[in-house]
Amino acid sequence: MRPTFTIWICSLVILGICSGAVADDLYVACHADVPLAAADVRDVFLGEKQILNSTRLVPVDNLAAQPAFLEKVLKMDAIKYDTIWAKKSFRDGVNTPVTMANDAAVLAFIRRTPGGCGYFTVEPPVDVTVIGKY
């Protein structure tokens, strides 16, 4: 494992410990090659915008940050969110976003998936594109 990655993991652990102080920050980030605008985040996570510059957008949910994300970004509760996605999936055949356990899983997915988008409880590293901070 590279030293920088170890340092970053350690930083995340430290941030997690200190999250009580800064628990309100939420970061939406995408794969480094996805120049997504902050205004498109809602559409992406509700399945309305699925393609950007010929790249299929793949939103993923972060179980650790989903409530905050639904509240701050999508302005809805989890039931509504599931209902929308149920309709969306039945009507348009679009799969609902995969739910990841935490920031690290989301970060790993985004890094390896072109078009991948997720949200973090801490500021993600620079090798992904941060779309917005909420």
Q: Which residues bind another protein (CB under 8 A)?
A: 83, 86-96
Min. distance of Cβ 87 from another protein in angstroms? 4
The nearest distance, CB 77 to another protein, in angstroms, is 15
- Rounded least distance, CB 46 to another protein, Å: 14
Cβ closest to another protein, residue 7 vs residue 86: 86
Q: Report yes or no: 100 and 109 within 8 Å, Cβ to Cβ.
A: yes
Considering the complex, what minimum distance in angstroms separates the CB of residue 38 from another protein? 29
Q: Residue ranges of the alpha helices (H) in the chain?
A: 3-17, 41-45, 66-69, 78-92, 103-112
Q: Could you tell me if 36 and 130 are in contact, meaning their C-beta atoms sit under 8 angstroms apart?
A: no
Cβ nearer to another protein, comparing 15 with 84: 84
- Please check whether residue 30 is in contact with residue 112, taking contact to mean a CB–CB distance below 8 angstroms: no
- When the beta carbons of 51 and 126 are compared against another protein, the nearer one is 51
Q: Which residues contact 65 (CB under 8 A, 6 or more apart)?
A: 26, 103, 119, 120, 121
